[in-house]
């Protein structure tokens, strides 16, 4: 059939909604009812923003396989079909009860969603690491369609899908409010700890410094991306950033024995915080602190921003441009910041051994850095093949899963409680029905 591929999603191998409705039409009419589950996997677009499209494709493929495997073993295994819906990050599942059986009840569905979240999260963690696994949430909504021959079947199904989408959105809204409460609590109790990710010299493997990654003590705040996203929504960025910065510097004093540098993430917006100053940072030795500024956030007032940077530079702090090469801006905007370090965007590193254009861009960046007297850091190195190419290209410093695999304890200050307290969790089932409430666990 011409354009047959449009009926199936290339990454996940799942049919589109139209293709599924067409092939299931007869069975749905025969059974007379249909249960629609809508799953929204939130923040998948964040994965693409941070790691690039290849990574999101891989995560989507893992997700689809995990969802399929889980549902295959669930009580919904009979007469079911899963489809990709309109976006990258959502799936629709049709459950058509077998003759003589009732459609799955609320309690059963809640249990299935809970198990699904856990299973998908585990599969993603094994395949792609903890940071990616902790980034996403699943919001599920359901609707129950009783087929009425007076109406066109397609319309009834599309309406059912829309109801399930709305139900999942109301669950998401509830969860967002809960997360904001968790963040306020985290700020009030300074419930933030720091993971230190080693940055090593590419040639020797010697530890050169550590990047501080702040995480919330509460499970719902474990992912830094989620925590800062909630803070931005609640207008609490400055408050959260202050705590993260001071935690990172406290830990440095406790843990860094051999003159390693501390790489500290600072959002350009933090420079507008009147309390953010070299004095407030209170670093015992500012020359050992590198302030990382991401290229992703637009800097609105360049001259003013440069003045603020200069005050830090005069006090001895150094600078790194983070996520360099993530946008289309090129090298000009990087040169403007006169960085001491250039951290390459992860999307340029991911599968660099297989892509000669990425190799060319990284080579260009290294040449540029050498001219500017800066050092290039390759972030997100996950495989030996990537490491080998990066060394060949002359990258100065490297960071990533390959050097810091899961299981190696991070440097967590001992006086901080990192046990996860019981309470609000992003990993419980989050299911929303179309018309009535099903309790979240």
User: Which contacts of 244-250 are long-range, i.e. CB under 8 A and separated by 24 or more positions?
Assistant: 244/192, 244/194, 244/212, 244/214, 245/281, 246/282, 247/190, 247/192, 247/193, 247/194, 247/212, 247/214, 247/413, 247/416, 248/194, 248/212, 248/214, 249/281, 249/282, 249/283, 249/289, 250/413
The secondary structure of residue 267, as a DSSP letter, is: -
Q: How far is the CB of 51 from another protein (least distance, A)?
A: 13
Q: How far is the CB of 346 from another protein (least distance, A)?
A: 13
Q: How far is the CB of 57 from another protein (least distance, A)?
A: 8
> For residue 193, what is the enclosing H or E element?
strand 192-201
Q: Say how far apart CA 436 and CA 438 lie, in whole Å.
A: 7
Q: Which is nearer to another protein, 348 or 398 (CB)?
A: 348
Q: How far is the CB of 207 from another protein (least distance, A)?
A: 28
DSSP sequence for 92-111: EEEE-PPTT-PPPPHHHHHH
Q: Which is nearer to another protein, 29 or 329 (CB)?
A: 329
Residues that bind another protein (CB under 8 A): 5, 10-11, 53, 57, 325, 327-331, 347-348, 354-358, 360-361, 364, 385
Q: How far is the CB of 180 from another protein (least distance, A)?
A: 34
Q: Are 342 and 395 in contact (CB under 8 A)?
A: no
Q: Which is nearer to another protein, 179 or 358 (CB)?
A: 358
Q: How far is the CB of 269 from another protein (least distance, A)?
A: 25
Q: Which is nearer to another protein, 266 or 348 (CB)?
A: 348
Q: Which is nearer to another protein, 147 or 331 (CB)?
A: 331
Q: Which is nearer to another protein, 303 or 332 (CB)?
A: 332
User: Sheet holding 33-42: strands in order across?
Assistant: 80-84, 90-95, 33-42, 137-146, 431-433
């Amino acid at each position: 059939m011409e354009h047959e591929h449009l009926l199936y999603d290339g990454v996940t191998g799942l049919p589109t909604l139209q293709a599924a409705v067409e092939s299931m039409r007869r069975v749905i009419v025969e059974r007379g009812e249909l249960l629609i589950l809508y799953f929204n996997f939130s923040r998948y677009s964040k994965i693409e923003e941070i790691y690039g499209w290849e990574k999101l494709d891989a995560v989507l493929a893992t997700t689809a396989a995990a969802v399929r495997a889980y549902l295959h073993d669930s009580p919904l295994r009979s007469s079911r079909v899963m489809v990709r819906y309109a976006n990258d990050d959502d799936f629709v599942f049709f459950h058509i009860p077998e003759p003589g059986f009732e459609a799955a009840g609320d309690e059963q569905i809640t249990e299935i969603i809970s198990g699904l979240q856990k299973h998908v999260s585990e599969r993603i963690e094994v395949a792609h690491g903890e940071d990616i696994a902790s980034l996403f949430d699943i919001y599920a909504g359901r609707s129950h369609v009783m087929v009425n021959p007076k109406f066109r079947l397609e319309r009834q199904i599309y309406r059912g899908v829309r109801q399930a989408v709305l139900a999942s959105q109301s669950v998401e809204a509830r969860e967002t409010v809960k997360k904001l409460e968790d963040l306020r609590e985290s700020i009030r109790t300074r419930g933030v700890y720091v993971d230190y990710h080693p940055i090593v010299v590419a040639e020797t493997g010697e530890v050169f410094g550590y990047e501080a990654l702040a995480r919330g003590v509460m499970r719902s705040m474990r992912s830094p991306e989620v925590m800062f996203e909630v803070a931005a929504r609640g207008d609490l960025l400055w408050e959260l950033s202050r705590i993260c910065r001071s935690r990172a510097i406290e830990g440095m004093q406790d843990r860094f024995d051999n003159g390693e540098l501390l790489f500290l993430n600072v959002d350009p917006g933090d420079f507008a915080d009147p309390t953010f100053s070299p004095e407030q940072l209170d670093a015992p030795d500012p020359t050992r602190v590198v302030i990382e500024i991401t290229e992703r956030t637009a800097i609105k007032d360049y001259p003013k921003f440069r003045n603020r940077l200069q005050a830090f530079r005069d006090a001895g702090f150094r600078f790194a441009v983070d996520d360099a090469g993530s946008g289309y801006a090129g090298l000009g905007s990087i040169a403007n910041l006169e960085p001491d370090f250039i951290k390459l965007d992860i999307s340029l590193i991911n599968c660099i051994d297989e892509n000669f254009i990425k190799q060319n861009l990284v080579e260009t960046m290294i040449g540029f850095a050498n001219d500017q007297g800066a050092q290039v850091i390759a972030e997100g190195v996950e495989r030996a093949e990537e490491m080998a190419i990066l060394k060949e290209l002359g990258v100065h410093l490297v960071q990533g899963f390959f050097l810091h695999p899961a299981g190696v304890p991070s440097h967590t200050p001992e006086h901080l409680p990192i046990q996860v307290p019981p309470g609000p969790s992003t990993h419980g089932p989050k299911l929303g029905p179309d018309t009535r409430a099903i309790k979240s666990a």
